[in-house]
Amino acid sequence: MRSDLVGILSIHGTALHGLGFDARAVVTREAWRDCAADLQMAGARFFDITAIDRGDSVEVILVLIDPPATHFSLRASCPNEDLRLDTLSDIFPPAEWGEREVFDLFGVEFDGNPDMTRILQPESSTIFPLRRSFVLEQRPW
């Protein structure tokens, strides 16, 4: 893991070394966009954006890679009452679809995403299926 990337992570948030990633950093929602923009300038490449429901909040996870072999993550937490985050789609173009998927499945809205619509579910859907509060019905058999 390059030291300048670790430096950027620790400027904007708390950088931790941990299981499964070469580094991981937790940032505030305000620092989310700036941190991603700095990492992009330093040569980081988009890999994935996803989320985990933590009960009272949704943790949005951005996975970035430093080619060829390093991957690290940036996390921001959105409380249930205010599920919004700034978009990264102008910094990393593939994030547009990734953010649409997070919106479709978790209900996190990304401010500034040019097409904040459902992607996997039909347009008429009103549910956010990957939330804990959405419980799958027991099968009758």
Partner 1 sequence: MVNFARGGVEGSTETMLVNIGPQHPSTHGVLHIMTELAGETVVTAKPVIGYLHRGIEKLAEQRTWQQNLVLCDRLDYVAQFSNEWAYCRAVEKLAGISVPERAEYLRTLLGELNRITSHLIWYAGVTMDIGALGTPFIYAWVAREKIFDFYENVTGARMMPNWMRIGGVRCDIDAALLADMREFLVSDFPKECDVYEALLTGNEIVVSRMKGVGAFTVEELTDWGVTGPALRASGSPLDLRRDAPYGVYDKLDFEVCSDGAGDSLARARVRLREIRESAKMCVQIIDMLPEGEIQTKIPRALKPPEGDVCVRTESPRGELGILVASDGSAKPLRFRVRSPIFYNLSAMPHMLPGHLLADMLVIFGGIDTSMGEIDR
List residues near partner 1 by CB under 8 A. Answer: 18-21, 45-48, 50, 52-53, 61, 63, 65, 67-69, 71, 73, 92-94, 96-98, 105, 118-123, 129-130, 134, 136
Q: Which is nearer to partner 1, 32 or 92 (CB)?
A: 92
Q: Which is nearer to partner 1, 3 or 20 (CB)?
A: 20
Query: How far is Cα 54 from Cα 36, in angstroms, rounded to an integer?
Result: 22
CB of 15: closest distance to partner 1 in angstroms? Answer: 16
User: Cα dist. 133→57, 122, 136 in Å?
Assistant: 12, 20, 10
Helix axes 32-41, 3-12, angle to 10 degrees: 170
Q: Which is nearer to partner 1, 81 or 123 (CB)?
A: 123
Query: How far is Cα 105 from Cα 4, in angstroms, rounded to an integer?
Result: 34
**Token digits of residue 115:** 């097409």
Q: Which is nearer to partner 1, 29 or 118 (CB)?
A: 118
Query: How far is Cα 9 from Cα 132, in angstroms, rounded to an integer?
Result: 30
CB of 116: closest distance to partner 1 in angstroms? Answer: 12
CB of 28: closest distance to partner 1 in angstroms? Answer: 20
